[in-house]
Copies of this chain bind each other. A is one copy, B any other.
Amino acid sequence: MVKSEMAKPLLDRDIGASTPLSVLSCGDTIGILGSGDFARSLAARLLYSGFRVVVGSRNPMRSAALFPADVEVMSQEEAVKRAQVMFVAIFQEHYSTLSALSDVLCGKTLIDVSNNPEISVNRESNAERLAALFPQCIVVKAFNVVSAWALQSGPKDGNNQVFICSDSPDAKSRVASIGRSMGFIPVDMGALCAAREVEQIPLRLLPLWRTPCALALGLFAFFYLYNFVRFVLHPYLQENRNTLYKLPLELMNVTLPCVAYVLLALVYMPGVLAAIYQLHNGTKYKRFPAWLDKWMLRRKQMGLVSFYLAALHAAYSFCLPMRRSARYQILNDAAKQVRNNVTSVWVEDEVWRMEIYVSLGIMALGILSLLAVSSIPSVANSLNWKEFTFIQSQLGFAALVVVTLHTLTFGWRRAFDGSRYKFYLPPTFTLTLVLPFIIILARVILLLPCINAKLLKIRRGWEKNKCVTFTAPSADCAEGSSNV
């Protein structure tokens, strides 16, 4: 058996021995068909990972200059003969150009790295097409989620997983091993038909953000319309006052915090529901309903959208006094005050109310910004579980409480002021308070010693009824600092 250099870490006794080490690529030989951006980056990465690399090109003379010096560029046929495992780094529409190689390819392992430009449902995967074209080869789908750029700069956190599928477990094992050597984390996706799913992965656009963003948009539309009726339509119909100028800025500024507030409440709702569910079933081993699982997995995104809208609300608020409208109103009020011969318009109550709610608003944004920062992947990775939970769960809940106080100070009296109920519609802030109130109340109840103790017991594995019909537990990520 030929000795694998790669597995052998620096044996200093080897110097001067009879089997000299080759150049930097000291491992086995991997082949690449193709000479595009991806092929070149792949060749370099394989080389740095300790493999020998041969490239098969239709025009070896022209291509050789594109590759690192240690890569051997040759005709496609020669390359196939040299390596047992071939990366197929050409566009899917050109697969048929390989048919001339059918004979030499026989028995080889082909790695399909291709992607499609568009998501297409109910279509055969590229990898399956390749397998159909070369039935004597073993086809493995892998590395399609890796970009040429990621290959160049080396695998990184967050994009270091490669998804592998094939009908041959052996071939899958080999390719997984190559991936590991290159610094990637291989993930087994099963048989080759899974390539349909694997090929969709790099075409997905922020899947976890869709629901939170749609929710935010829906809430925005609702609250903007609601505020339009109260602040623009009502004055126009009742007092014939034109306040359309409020549309671009003031209406935005009262709508954004409503959406942010409701979204923040929705971040802490599934935790409460999960606790109730676990208490009701007396076990943590009963799987949550799918919608609750999905909701829990999107809490981070919902929280970040909430923070984003709250920050926009702050920016809009900061701009209020710089507007022409604010200036004109002050000037007119001053003129009016002089006409009415009033010395002081100071209203102590109004002053206090505003000083307090502005201060609370800044504090809430300050706390939320800590949550946002701790959501940056590299910051989150530097925290242990207890720290992450403290920030995301406890500080986050504190933010919800401070926002509630901010909202209450803003409009407490208005809730009981009949003149604020325009067209019988309650003030907007009263509407937004309902959900957060319920959630804060539920959290307080769950913290009562008798209930909390039972919940902790359940989360450490206790079960009300050991004979309960078993269903697989969900990945209960949000709770418990202790392993197991």
Contact = CB atoms under 8 A, between A and B. Distances in A.
Contact of A11 (B28, B311, B484): B28
Contact of A317 (B85, B316, B319): B319
B205 A66 contact: no
Interface in A353-373: 353-356, 358-359, 362, 365-366
B381 A158 contact: yes
A337 interface: yes
A332 interface: yes
Interface stretch (A108-116, A228-236, A268-276, A428-436): A108-116
Contact of A89 (B160, B347, B385, B484): B484
A359 to B, nearest CB: 4
A240 interface: no
Contacts of A65: 472
A427 interface: no
Contacts of A30: 10
Interface in A56-88: 62, 65-66, 68, 70, 83-85
Interface string A214-254: 00000000000000000000000000000001111110100
A290 interface: no
Contacts of A29: 12
Nearest to A88: B484
Interface stretch (A196-204, A258-266, A417-425, A439-447): A196-204
A107 B15 contact: yes
A355 B327 CA distance: 12
User: Which of A4, A24, A343, A383 has the most B CB atoms < 10 Å from its CB?
Assistant: A24
Given A173-B24, A245-B351, A321-B322, A475 B148 contact: yes
Given A322-B320, A345-B332, A346-B328, A355 B114 contact: no
Interface string A20-48: 11111011111000101111000000011
Interface string A321-357: 1111111101111111111001111111011111110
A88 B473 CA distance: 20
A10 B381 contact: no
B350 A324 contact: yes
A95 to B, nearest CB: 11
A465 interface: no
Contact of A381 (B157, B202, B383): B157
Contacts of A308: 366
Interface residues of A, number: 167
A68 B275 CA distance: 27
A15 B350 CA distance: 79
Contacts of A426: none
A481 B13 contact: no
Contacts of A203: 386, 481
A91 B322 contact: no
Contact of A334 (B50, B183, B334, B387): B334
Given A66-B473, A248-B355, A334-B330, A484 B23 contact: no
A396 interface: no
Contacts of A26: 173, 177
A152 B475 CA distance: 10
B85 A10 contact: yes
Contacts of A249: 355-356, 358-359
Given A24-B172, A338-B338, A387-B206, A159 B10 contact: no
Given A4-B8, A204-B386, 7 more contacts: A6-B9, A9-B51, A66-B472, A117-B481, A145-B384, A147-B483, A338-B339
30 contacts: A5-B173, A9-B50, A10-B30, A10-B181, A15-B107, A15-B170, A16-B107, A48-B186, A66-B473, A68-B188, A154-B161, A156-B377, A205-B390, A206-B390, A248-B355, A248-B358, A249-B355, A315-B365, A318-B322, A319-B362, A324-B354, A325-B351, A325-B354, A328-B347, A332-B345, A334-B334, A334-B338, A376-B378, A377-B379, A378-B378
